[in-house]
Amino acid sequence: MKSLITQVTRSGQVESFHVGYGVIVDASGEIVKAYGDTQYSTYVRSSAKPLQGMAVLRSGAYDNFKMTPEDLAVICSSHSGEPIHTQTVSQVFSEAGIGPELLACGIHPPIHRPSAQALQTAGVAPQQIHNNCSGKHAGMLATCVQLAHSPEDYLNPEHPVQQYIYDIVKEYTSSDEIHRGVDGCSAPVFYLPLQKVAMAFARISKQENQECCQIFQAMSGHPHLVGGEGRFDTALMKSYPEKILSKGGAEAVSAAGFIMPDGQVYGLAGKVLDGNYRAIGQMVLKMLEDIGFVEEPLSKQLMKWWKPDLQNHAKHIIGTTKTIISE
């Protein structure tokens, strides 16, 4: 059985390694490439956001509130808290006629260090809108308004909007029941096999219906809103404009849907088993190389995830990190 192994070498010797599982499937779920246990189940974390974001489309909130593709991109994002991100999330609230005081995602500083430093310099404390999941929560709250449900306790798995989202996730993953946990932002999080996650992304990227078209085009067309400066999903989508949808999540899980040069559409899902984030971008790129979607030389913006050099504190290159497909 093949697995993905990211090796960290120092002075010619392997010092550490990370093992990952992954799978590439078509829109029917048929496995095209397998790397380890394709039925390995994990919490998909923020990789579920394109599915969660569909609620604003299916409910009619997107059309009723005259939202934009930029709004939809940030609703599906794990944004870095840059000004463009918080401005777009604020716009979603304004369009829905509600305010960010309804957010229940919790507070953390912006992922984007200059933005975090700017707040600190100005003596301004981070707010919930800086949380990387605030766009997703804005979408959930807008859906509450559209469907005439109270926003109170909107993160409870039994809340009608969470049940609405749950049904969408079950539909696109062809699942009868899905175990749900609690995500870092307090929203329900889905525990799914990698193969089913990959299938959902293949279906979205095949753009088999209007809501899939809108999700794929919003995210691939506005990659900076999905992540931000220096983020893997943003770099990957910018490198292959409107050919790939990429969405990672915490604990080193990632999923993507992509269109091959011959028009074939596939979905991919991967997980680093020890949850180490430094390996997941490289593993995704290795799977995409294996199927022929990417080839060297990669774009400059992707090079930090492709066999990056290991430097010591004196900036001397003393090793490298690379991912192999191991039997």
Model's pTM, two decimal places?
0.97
Q: Which residues of the chain have pLDDT under 70?
A: none
| pLDDT value, residue 327 | 81
| pLDDT value, residue 262 | 97
| pLDDT value, residue 1 | 81
User: Phi-psi bin for 124: left (phi > 0), alpha (psi -120 to 50), beta?
Assistant: beta
Q: What share of the chain is helix, strand, coil (3-state, %, to 5)?
A: 45, 20, 35
> 3-state DSSP call for residue 116?
helix
Q: Which two tokens stand for residue 44?
A: 């998909």
| pLDDT value, residue 55 | 98
Q: For 76, phi and psi rounded to 5 degrees?
A: -95, 10
Residue in the block written with tokens 């992509």: 258
Q: Model confidence over 177-191: pLDDT tens digits?
A: 999 999 999 999 999
**Cα radius of gyration rounded to whole Å, the chain:** 19
Torsion angle of C-alpha atoms 130, 179, 172, 258, degrees rounded to 10: 60
Separation between Cα atoms, residue 182 and residue 133, nearest integer Å: 13
Nearest of 137, 308, 271 to residue 191 by alpha carbon: 271
Tell me the C-alpha to C-alpha distance, in Å, between residue 319 and each of 121, 304, 311.
Answer: 37, 14, 7
Look up residue 102 and give its amino acid.
Answer: L
- Could you tell me the residue ranges of all domains in the chain? 3-326
> String of b and e for 7-35 (b: at least 16 CB within 10 Å)?
bbbeeeeeeebbbbbbbbbbbebeeebbb
| pLDDT value, residue 126 | 98
Could you tell me the fold of the domain covering 3-326? Beta-lactamase (3.40.710)
Helices 194-206/210-221 angle, 10° precision: 90
